[in-house]
Chain A
Amino acid sequence: MTYLFDPANWEWLVTGNNLRFLLEGFLVNLQIAVIAIVFSLIFGLLLALARLSKLRPLSLAAGAWVDVWRNLPLIFIILYLFLASPPAWTDAYEDYAPGFLPDALQTGRVFAGLLGLVLYNSAVIAEIMRAGILSLDRGQGEAAAALGLTYPQQLRYVILPQGLRRMVPATVSQLITLNKDTTLVSIIAIQEVMRHGRTLTSGFGVFTGVDVQAPLLQVFIFIGLLFVIVNYALSRLSRRLEIRERKRSGGAATPVIGLEDQTALAAEAR
């Protein structure tokens, strides 16, 4: 116990460049999360629409796609893409990656990480969106039809806005999970916070003239804290949004719960 709180073991935090080094790594994780969530939302929406489509082959194909990616471990997907990405794609990534991204995100390996995250999360988000849309009262769609709106118009003006608003809390919850999942890219040697933490705890200090070798327990507890702070803030945001949504729709809305990779179809839980 004393080991945990011994100030000598926390000295590394204020020595040299260590804190900044860790935070720079953490920034890489956050950036990966932001990029991945943006693309996952786009593809998730497309997949959800495909799933809800009236065309059977399309909805079946989309359904199969979503089921496969949702049921595979994310680390599996990332590792596979890392070992098997065609060079053409990784090269294209390196050529087109915007210059303002830090070095760690410029390497072709990040492509495997991002693609894996997007493939997986777009499938999960597609299910969240589908649940959100389905949770809408049938009456809405029928009323819209009675007013003379075509199906695409119904989607655009009535169903999607309400359905998508429903799933904002679940999406923020998925963003939290995504944040945590960004640590997985450390396994394919991307220089993010986990890797930076490992560098700090290694004995490289003897080569670099810094006397303090950061102890592993403290470094990773600190890294854990970084994540807890950011994710907790996000979860509070999600709860606020949920409350706001309840107020807006007068309490009749059944919010879609997003728990670690799953959506409870509102129909099922009530």
Chain B
Amino acid sequence: MTRMKLWRALLAMALAVTALAVAGCGDDDDDDGGGGGGGGGGDQPAEAQQFPADTTMGKIQEKGEITIGVKFDVPPFGFTNPQTDEVEGFDVDMGRILAEELGVEPRFIEAISDNRIPFLERGTVDVILSTMTINQERDQEIDFSEPYYVAQGRILVPGDSDIAGLEDLAGNSVCTALGSTYEETLREDAPDAELRLVDTYSECLELLQNGAVDAISTDDVILTGMIIQDDTLKLVGDELTTEPYGAGIKDGDTEFQKFVSDTLEAAQADGRWEEIYQEWVGQYVDQPQPPPEMTLEEALELGG
């Protein structure tokens, strides 16, 4: 009898965990819902153009949802809002524009710097919008859309730091993300700086605020996002690099690349880009930026 009791207790525990799981699921009706896509929620604009079934666009429409890889911890481009359990930001809104154009629901998953390319190659995501800089090295593995944002590389330091530029980094520690373009740039241009590589920029911010590193180097928008969170930090130095962001698309899929580029360019022309820019970046910086005019070719030549 006691053995039965034990098994019943374990079974009860297992059922309780499962019940909690189901209950927990019931409440969320967010866009990044899994396994099922469209359904009832969200708007289905009547004028969404239907694409032929053998194109990527057509396949996405058939699935009813488009999977977009974004950052989950890089405000203001992609970050989780703990109050709503949803991911928000500039890249997220760009993704919504794509979804709207196809008439499907967007589904956002996290793409960190060093796995986003494999995700694209494997088809885990349909498109990447995660502050990804266009450069020739990446262009060999995937395709890019036309640039949808142009950022500059800068350095972020605590407000009371003496570091004023790249040269001052020598002998200090600087943090950047594993697999980012800054790893290379810093190794070349600041060989005497101690490089601390981490998985995500939120870790870099933590280390900087802690005092464990002396500086962070990455795109200025990401750094601005950090300043917004902590206004004791400051940007220093000249622009290290120009970083045009492009949407990442699977290698060889020229139709989809055209679709994405056209859609994003349309948004730049009709004011949607500006609206989104103002909401996420414009209101925090002194000199607002216009939509990028750079073409993909120019971007590729830059990066090298």
Contact = CB atoms under 8 A, between A and B. Distances in A.
A199 B28 contact: no
A187 interface: yes
Interface stretch (A46-54, A68-76, A94-102, A176-184): A94-102
Contacts of B82: 16-18, 21, 196, 199-200, 204, 208, 210
Interface in A218-258: 241, 244
Contact of A97 (B22, B35, B75, B84): B35
A207 B76 contact: yes
A90 interface: yes
A24 interface: yes
A103 B6 CA distance: 32
Interface in A162-189: 187, 189
A250 B118 CA distance: 58
B24 A106 contact: no
B122 A210 contact: no
User: Which of A187, A199, A216 has the most CB atoms of chain B within a 10 A radius of its CB?
Assistant: A199
Contacts of B81: 204, 207-208
A204 B25 contact: no
Contacts of A244: 2, 6
A103 B65 CA distance: 15
Interface residues of A, number: 44
Nearest to B112: A189
Contacts of B85: 17, 21, 24
Interface stretch (B13-21, B138-146, B255-263, B264-272): B13-21
A100 B205 contact: no
A99 B80 contact: no
Contacts of A209: 83
B45 interface: no
A203 B229 contact: yes
Interface string A89-131: 0110010010111110011100000000000000000000000
A146 interface: no
A34 to B, nearest CB: 6
Interface string A195-206: 110111111101
Contacts of B80: 191, 199, 204
Given A87-B124, A208-B83, A210-B83, A107 B73 contact: no
A18 B165 CA distance: 39
B18 A100 contact: yes
A206 B283 CA distance: 13
Interface string B235-277: 0000000000000000000000000000000000000000000
Contacts of B18: 100
B83 A87 contact: no
B109 A207 contact: no
A157 B204 CA distance: 58
B197 interface: no
B168 interface: no
Contacts of A108: 124
B115 A82 contact: yes
Interface in B149-206: 199-200, 202, 205-206
B79 A204 contact: yes
A59 interface: no
18 contacts: A24-B24, A30-B17, A82-B115, A90-B122, A90-B124, A99-B34, A99-B35, A103-B28, A189-B200, A195-B72, A199-B80, A199-B82, A203-B205, A204-B79, A206-B228, A207-B79, A209-B83, A244-B2
Interface of B: 2, 6, 14, 17-18, 20-22, 24-25, 28, 30, 32-36, 72-73, 75-76, 79-85, 88, 109-110, 112, 115, 118, 121-124, 199-200, 202, 205-206, 226, 228-230
Interface of A: 16-18, 21, 24, 27, 30-31, 34, 82-83, 87, 90-91, 94, 97, 99-103, 106-108, 187, 189, 191, 195-196, 198-204, 206-210, 216, 241, 244
